[in-house]
Structure formats: structure tokens, C-alpha cells
Structure 1
Amino acid sequence: MPELAQHCEVVLAPDPSTATLARLIPDAHALVVRAPLAPELFDHAPNLRAIVRHGVGLDMVPMDLVTARGIPVANTPGVNAQAVVEYCLSAMLHLRRGLATMDARMRRDGWAAARPLADGGSDLGGSTCGIVGVGDIGGRLATVAAALGMRVLGLARRPETLPAGVEAVDKQQLFARSDVVVLCCPLTEQTRGLVDAASVAAMKRDAILINVARGPVVDTAAVVAALRQGRLGGAALDVFERQPLTGDEPLFDAPNLLLTPHVAGISDTSMRAMSEVAVATVLALLRGERPRNVVNPQVFR
């Protein structure tokens, strides 16, 4: 962040542990966040005037506590939406067409062994995409899905805000009718455990589930069980209840499961864009300004 360094002393935490952050936070006037912040840290932050989430999700910040202390919190909404949408499309194609599996089979066993794998693929066009959480990311995904010829269903807190062409449905309808279910919602008390065993059981046997929201939105054990029993066509999980994964979790043995290490929103392009917004926001807050991307504007009253 060279631009930030022109105006501030920039300190990079060598690790995200609470002990390390507790040692550094007393002198900090602003924090740029990419790891969870323990509530007790703020007992040692007398100079803190701004927190900027390098990303969108606010579950890393104890919002009620910092708001009560009058500390403004901002994020970088929409900046990585394109990266996440492209990840979702990649996951759909990976699970529907199986190109990686085909490539590995062809390299190992030859042309004749790999070619029949194509018979198990299916087109996205003409199928139904159900999106849970139709905000910046979900709305853009809806546009892309429609352009591919998919019918789009949406589950949102305010159905009247859904984009044109997205059919508002309830949870039961979305899981029962969709060929692809994509989770783009924030983690809240309402969405925690949203995709439970009953939701997974309601899905079509060849449907796929993609989670780019947060791990606790999904009952991972229910997804793994459905995959093993052939009751679900496939799944792509980018986020998990506990991160990072150790490699010993049961889901590593599940069939038709794409696992990625919380990277849906990460590309060189998106990281640069998020950094630019984060830097501009930090400097604005330290100047006493009120950027539009502050998520707790009540602290200014």
C-alpha cells in the first residue's frame, strides 16, 4: 500500500493472532482487516479511529462493540463481485462438464478412455439457477446466468428489490426447483444454518450447490452425506465452518466435491481494486470525512 505509506506509518502484522494484534493495536489509528478481530482487542485500542474491512463480509469485526465505542467501520462493497461471479461460473462448468477429470483420464488412459466422460456432462443453458442473496454479487450472477440461457430464481430479504428477470421464490421452492444453487448471502443469525439437511434433501439428485457466502450458512455434514449417497450431483465449497482446513476433514473423501481455500473473491485484479478502495477509505476517515461505504454511520451522530 505505497499510497497509504505516503500519509501514515504502515505496520503489517506478522500474523493474525490475538496476541500479536494486542501488541500492535495500542498505537494504531486505523485498521485494515483481513482476519477476525477478537473483542478483547478493543480494550487496548485507545487511539483507534477507523476500521476498514479489506473485503465485504463483516463477520470478522465485532460490530456491536466497535459501534458502541464510536468507531466507524467500512468495507469495500462490490469491488470483488466480478471475481466471485467468475468463480461461480467456473465451479458450475467444472461440476457440469468435468473437464479436469477428463484431462486427467486422457493423460493417464488415453483418448478412448476419456471421451465417454463427456456423455455425463450437461448444458447450463435451459437449466435453473437459484441464488440465495441477490445483492452486488448475486445480482451480477443473475445477469450472467440469464445470458447463458438459465432461468433464475432468487431468495432475498426484500423480494421487491430483485432485478428484472429474477423470479422471487421462497426457500423451499428455490431448493426444490433449482439445478444449481448458489449461496451469496451474508452470515447473519437468519442465514446461519440456512442450508440444513432438509434443504439438501429437497434438492434434485443431479443438482449442484455452490457456497461463496460463509461456512456456517451450510450444514457441511449434510452435503457430504448427500454426495456420498448419490443424492446430490455435486458441490463447490469455498468457505467452511472452521478455517483453514487441516486435510483430515471427512469432506476430503466426498465425491464430486470441489474444494477451494476461500479464494472466490481473490484475483490480482480484485485485490488491487479492494486495496485502492481500502486506502482511500482509511485516509478519508482519518481526515474526519464520512465515506459512503461506512456500514455503521450512526457513529457520526
Structure 2
Amino acid sequence: MSRQKILVTGADLAAQALEVLKNYDIVYAGKTPTEEDIVALCKEHDPVAIIVRYSKVGAAAMDAAPSLKVISKHGSGTDTIDKSAAKERGIAVVAALGANASAVAEQALTLMLACAKSVPQLNERMHAGFWDKSTHKSLELAGRTLGLIGLGAIGQRFARMACAMGMNVMGFDPYATTWPEGVQRVDLETIWRDSDVISLHCPLTDDNRGLINADTLALCRPGVVLVNTARGGLIDEAALLAAVENGHVRAAGLDSFAVEPMAAGHPFQNRSGFILSPHIGGVTSDAYVNMGLSAARNALAVLGQTVEAA
């Protein structure tokens, strides 16, 4: 009798997660699967679960896998999964909430510091033989105000880091069930008006797509720093480019983009004021294991299997 199959929309999964899933056959979609690839693999293998690392999972993939019971995200953001289609078909959608919180919060902190201190630019100048001590002025963050949009596990962890640095921290999150100590709860208008640094930590929804746009950027303080380790669709990239080029935004530290992977010739490339990383905030050796284990355990919980500790 053949074993049930689980499709992983990536090329690998942590060994610890594979041990949890040892009673299933694992099918990998490869490093850069397309939606069409996912649909084809669903038709071929009829998985009972999909663990989503890359690509989108839409209605066509769900219809191609009549045995599918659960779609488990290898991470916290489920915007690449058609949740409405899943609900209509009785397919559970689960996420590895908090599994990569430390990693992503550290990346947000890194990008904020790099923007404030011009680390990449100074490093490049030093390697080219320049000594810019007499001409460079960086931004001191102690006493400055950080505005967080989204206070889930990542936002809360970043808030604690910023508070420890002596920053004034305020946040907006109408869905937060807990609120971190030392963070002032404010509305979005206050975030725009009073923040020296704005950092995005919210999921992408139809309601907040393009949240950072020409109008909201115009409300921000001149010289604001913008950090995004959430989803690229939260930002109108043309509006941000204009704001950086005219100096209204001091610098933008970005780990996610509207279209990924970023194609050669993107307007942010080779432009001063942009510090870029390829959506790797949650890509650490520890987070890789934590997200894999959480995704595997979440899938098995829906499938009704006993989840062994690992």
C-alpha cells in the first residue's frame, strides 16, 4: 500500500522536520517552483498536505489534489496562499507563527542601524581608499522615535530591542491580543507624523496593500528611515523611490519587494539611500529548523497524527 504524500514547495526541509514526517513520502518542488509547477505536482502526487516555502498555492493546485487537507506555511506570512479558496474547499491553512521571530527582528534591527549609520556606503568607501571622518554625519538613534506597524511576535521582539537602545517606541496594530511593555499604542496618523524610523511588521492584505505611498510618505517627517522585513506589497515602490531621491526619506532598508526575486535593472538597484537584502530576514540556521518543525507539526495536527517532540 502506497504511503500518503506531502508536497514541499521548495528543494529541502530541515532534517528534524523530516523526522517528524517520517510516515509520509515527501515530494519536493525544487528551488524556484512556479504556480504551474505546483499544480502539475499536485496532479501527479495528490498530496494530503502542502508545506509552502516558495511560490503561490491557489485554487488550481487545490483542485488538482483531491486528498489535500492542509496547507502549512513554512513561516508566518500566508499571503501566498489563496485562503478564500482553501476555506471554500474545507482545506485548513496554518502558519509557523513566531518560529522566525528572532531572526526577522534581528534583520530589522540590522537594516535600521545600517540606514542610520551608513554602514554599507562607508564600508565601500573605505575599501576604495577613502577616509570620510571629516565629512560624514550619521544618525544617533537613542532618544529617537520608532514607529512599528504590526505588533505580532516579530514586532514585539524588535520593540524590546529598540527600547533597550533608548529609543521611544510606539506602535499601531488593531489586531494585537497582547501589548508589549514600554510601547505606546497610537493610530497610523501619529506613526506618520512622529516617527524618525518606521518599521513594517504586518501581514499583507487587500486593505493595506500600498500602505506606504505618496500620500502617507508626505505625512512623514523629513529624513525618516523606512524598514520593511514584512511584505513588499505594503510599499508603492515608485513612491518610495521618489521620496528617497528627493531626500524626504533618509534611507530605506528593505528585505522584501513587490516582485521576487528582484530582476536586474530594478529602480532600487545602484541607488544611494537603499540598503537591500534578498528576503532573508528569516533565513538563519536556527529559524530554518524552527520553521520546518512548526510547519511539519502544524500539518500533522490537522491530519490527526501524533506529533513527536524533536
TM-score by length of 1: 0.89
Question: Per-residue deviation at 1:228?
Answer: 0.8
| Counterpart AA for 2:81 | V
| Counterpart AA for 1:115 | K
Is the aligned partner of 1:146 residue 2:171? no
Q: Tell whether the 8 Å contact from 1:185 to 1:191 is kept in structure 2 after alignment.
A: no
Question: Per-residue deviation at 1:38?
Answer: 2.6
Matching residue within 236, 253, 260 for 1:243: 260
Is the aligned partner of 1:29 residue 2:48? yes
Q: Tell whether the 8 Å contact from 2:208 to 2:234 is kept in structure 1 after alignment.
A: yes
**Tell me, what secondary structure is at the counterpart of 1:52?**
strand
Cross-structure match for 1:42:
62
1:196-238 deviation line (CA, Å, top 9, x unaligned): 1121122222210011121111111111101111111100121
Question: Per-residue deviation at 1:275?
Answer: 0.7
Q: Tell whether the 8 Å contact from 1:128 to 1:178 is kept in structure 2 after alignment.
A: yes
| Counterpart AA for 2:133 | R
**Tell me, what secondary structure is at the counterpart of 1:46?**
coil
| Counterpart AA for 2:29 | A
Is the aligned partner of 1:175 residue 2:195? no
1:267-289 deviation line (CA, Å, top 9, x unaligned): 11111111111222223322357
For structure 2, the residue ranges without an aligned partner over 5 or more in a row are: 1-14
Question: Per-residue deviation at 1:164?
Answer: 2.4
Q: Tell whether the 8 Å contact from 2:159 to 2:169 is kept in structure 1 after alignment.
A: yes
1:116-140 deviation line (CA, Å, top 9, x unaligned): 35x4112211110000011111111
| Counterpart AA for 2:137 | G
Cross-structure match for 1:88:
108
Mapping 1:148-167, distance limit 5 Å: 148-158=165-175, 161-167=178-184
Cross-structure match for 2:9:
none
C-alpha distance in 1 between matches for 2:208 and 2:87: 22
C-alpha distance in 2 between matches for 1:28 and 1:153: 44
Question: Per-residue deviation at 1:22?
Answer: 2.0
C-alpha distance in 1 between matches for 2:176 and 2:302: 34
Question: Per-residue deviation at 1:187?
Answer: 0.8
TM-score by length of 2: 0.87
Is the aligned partner of 1:116 residue 2:140? no
Is the aligned partner of 1:61 residue 2:76? no
| Counterpart AA for 1:28 | P
Structure 1 residues 12 and 169, CA gap change in structure 2 (3 angstroms):
same
Q: Tell whether the 8 Å contact from 2:21 to 2:296 is kept in structure 1 after alignment.
A: no
Q: Tell whether the 8 Å contact from 2:255 to 2:281 is kept in structure 1 after alignment.
A: yes
Cross-structure match for 1:185:
202
Is the aligned partner of 1:79 residue 2:95? no
Q: Tell whether the 8 Å contact from 2:42 to 2:61 is kept in structure 1 after alignment.
A: yes
C-alpha distance in 2 between matches for 1:88 and 1:23: 37
Matching residue within 199, 202, 209 for 2:216: 199
**Tell me, what secondary structure is at the counterpart of 2:27?**
coil
Cross-structure match for 2:33:
16
Question: Per-residue deviation at 1:76?
Answer: 0.3
Structure 1 residues 103 and 250, CA gap change in structure 2 (3 angstroms):
closer
**Deviation beyond 6 Å, 4+ runs, structure 1:** none
| Counterpart AA for 1:242 | V
C-alpha distance in 2 between matches for 1:275 and 1:68: 27
Higher mean displacement: 244-253 or 265-274: 244-253
C-alpha distance in 1 between matches for 2:210 and 2:201: 14
For structure 1, the residue ranges without an aligned partner over 5 or more in a row are: 291-301
Question: Per-residue deviation at 1:5?
Answer: 5.2
1 or 2, which has the higher helix percentage? 1
Q: Tell whether the 8 Å contact from 2:152 to 2:176 is kept in structure 1 after alignment.
A: no
Cross-structure match for 1:101:
121
C-alpha distance in 1 between matches for 2:124 and 2:211: 35
* Percent of aligned pairs with the same amino acid: 33
The count of aligned residue pairs is 287
C-alpha distance in 2 between matches for 1:250 and 1:155: 30
